[in-house]
Amino acid sequence: MRATDRDAEFVEFVAEHRPVLMQAARLLTAGDHAQAEDLVQTTLTKLYVQWPKVRRSDNPVGYARRSLTHVFIDEGRRAFRSRERVVAEPPAPDARREEQVADDHELRASVLDALGGLPPRQRAAVVLRHWFDLDVDQTARILNCSTGTVKSQTAKALRHLRASLEPAVTLKEIP
Amino acid sequence: MNDTDLNDLLHTAGRTDGTDSFDARADLARGRRALARIRRRRVAGGVLGLAVAGVIGTTAVREYAGDDTPTARQEQQSSSGVEAVRLVSQPLDAGSYRFGKVPDGWSVQGENAFRVTIAKDGDPDTHPDSFIGKLVIMLDSNAPAGDEVTHHNGREFWVNSDGGGDHTSISTLTRDGEPAGTILVQFPNDAGWAKLTMLEFLDSVEVLEGAQPSVG
């Protein structure tokens, strides 16, 4: 393929799909914008290098999703650390918190904090299953593990999220 | 607060304030630089490869001749100090695959219609679905692809060395009479697998009826 075709296709792909990759990266990194941007940049660079393979894959978005997850897990292996979020004010008492979570910003911060308490692979399992809406088999293939592992990791993650978010937010039971 | 869908929560949490402006040309520039670096390394590697071809050839000939002299054993050490993998002609059926040659000192750890996992004897990781440091043989629904195309025994092979640094994947089309598709083997890096050995191993694999492709 000619370099100009590769470039044009890649730019079109970035324009269309970068925002979604950035949102996924934001969840995977529990709201760390700088790390999320790094993940997306690394992912897109890999995609450009492998573009002939990406375009042959019939599902470039799926390819990007898998690459993003792998980059995240590889990074996590190198440096998994639990970050403390700096907040302007001390946490509000529970009674007030319930009102505040109605605000999107507060809710977002609460969810990202809860995600931040998960190990990287559990966080990836939650994002793949419940944000990308992939099924257990698809998630297992991306994470290179068994379907049983996906189920157990997701269940552990959901228990943690429930415990972290309640009582302000009650997660619906997932069948 | 009412019960909330996790899906809705995640969408709220992942949403931006509209501040995520980006310039696709910057991503393009990064991609081009990375590709240029890889191509420069390949050119440099090609020149170096010609210079050391004689040494590698000697090692390969000794390996296939079954030479077991101390000198030969020393030459079979890879640059990382790991002993070179030696294939033995011991046909083996595992899962939906038949292997004409198997690596000496490695054993099947997991087998089903989707994949076969083969690990070095003594590998402490015995989970059949853990692939790090192991051979994984699978039928792929995607077309063969890789950074490099090479030929061996009259067949075309695609080599993909970009496995996050810990593995190399080689794929080829299945033969006539086998289930149509791409057979792919993931080889661990730094485990003593020379490229020729990888090609010879993959070339010896026969895909049997019942093999199911992974979809990626």
Q: What is the ipTM of this complex?
A: 0.78
Enumerate domains of chain B plus CATH numbers.
23-76 (no CATH), 87-214 (2.60.120)
CA–CA gap between residue A133 and residue A124 (Å, rounded): 12
Q: How confident is the model at residue A16 (pLDDT cuts 50, 70, 90)?
A: very high
Strand partners, B111: B116
Q: Which residues of B touch A27 (CB under 8 A)?
A: 10, 13-14
pLDDT band (50, 70, 90) for residue B81: low
**SS3 assignment, position A59:** coil
Q: In which element (H, E) is residue B168 found?
A: strand B167-173
Candidate from B11, B12, B216 with C-beta closest to A66? B216
CA distance linking residue A72 with residue A124, whole number of Å: 8
Name residues 37-96 of chain A within 8 A of B (Cβ): 41, 44-53, 56-58, 62-63, 66, 70, 74
Instruction: Give every CB contact of residue B147 below 8 A, 6+ residues apart in sequence.
Output: B38, B159, B160, B161, B162
Identify the residue with better confidence: A136 or A94.
A136
Domains annotated on chain A, with CATH: 1-82 (1.10.1740), 89-169 (1.10.10.10)
Distance (Å, rounded) from C-alpha B144 to C-alpha A43?
A: 21
Q: Which residues is B186 bridged to in the sheet?
A: B136, B169
Give the minimum alpha-carbon distance from B12 to chain A in angstroms, rounded to a whole number: 6
pLDDT at site B163: 53
Q: What are phi and psi of A72, to 5 degrees?
A: -60, -45
- Per-residue pLDDT for B168 more than 60? yes
Contact (Cβ atoms closer than 8 angstroms) between residue A125 and residue A148: no
Q: How far is B31 from chain A, CA to nearest CA, in Å?
A: 4
Q: Is some CB atom of chain A closer than 8 A to the CB atom of B145?
A: yes
C-alpha–C-alpha distance, residues B195 and B209, integer Å: 28
**Closest Cβ–Cβ partner in A108, A115, A171 for B4:** A171
Q: Using CA atoms, how far apart are residues A114 and B152, in angstroms rounded to an integer?
A: 52
